[in-house]
Structure 1
């Protein structure tokens, strides 16, 4: 049985948010290159945090697909 429309939208939103975080991480990385080492290391810490959050969102999307997380209609 296919996902309901609300669950399809939830999964799409989670994937889009994960992609936005990955894009932001890449931009931070590129902007940090060529800077001072301390700033670069701080930026890499932030990039790592963004990647972790993106991975978590992708995992939630997988859980929606597997029907372990569902969105219900609001009454």
Structure 2
């Protein structure tokens, strides 16, 4: 059964946020290098800790998008 328009949008949104998270991680990793080169190693380490959590969150979003695709998660109108 094809997805409804709201569910198609939900799936697209989840995948878009996952991709944005991935590229943000790449950009922030580059920033950690520059911070470290500037002598701000402690700040670079703290930023790396944050970035390290991104792949798990990205995987969750992709999994939610897959659940929308197969109909386990649906968007309904609020009452």
- Do they fold alike, i.e. is TM over 0.5? yes
1:14 aligned counterpart, secondary structure: helix
Structure 1 residues 42-72: Cα deviation after superposition (integer angstroms, max 9, x where no partner): 2221111122211111111011011110012
Q: Give the TM-score normalised by the residue count of structure 1.
A: 0.86
Give the drift of 1:29. Answer: 0.1
- Residue of 39, 48, 52 corresponding to 2:52: 48
CA distance in structure 2 between the partners assigned to 1:5 and 1:73 by the alignment:
12
How large is the Cα RMSD of the aligned pairs?
1.5
After the TM superposition, which parts of structure 1 deviate over 6 Å for at least 4 consecutive aligned residues? none
Q: What are the ranges of 5 or more consecutive residues in structure 1 without an aligned counterpart?
A: none
Q: 2-side partners of 1:4 and 1:42: how far apart?
A: 42
The corresponding residue for 2:21 is 21
Q: CA deviation at 1:12?
A: 0.1
Question: Within 5 Å, which residues of 2 pair with 1:1-75?
Answer: 1-34=1-34, 35=36, 36-74=40-78
Where does the alignment leave 5 or more consecutive residues of structure 2 unmatched?
none
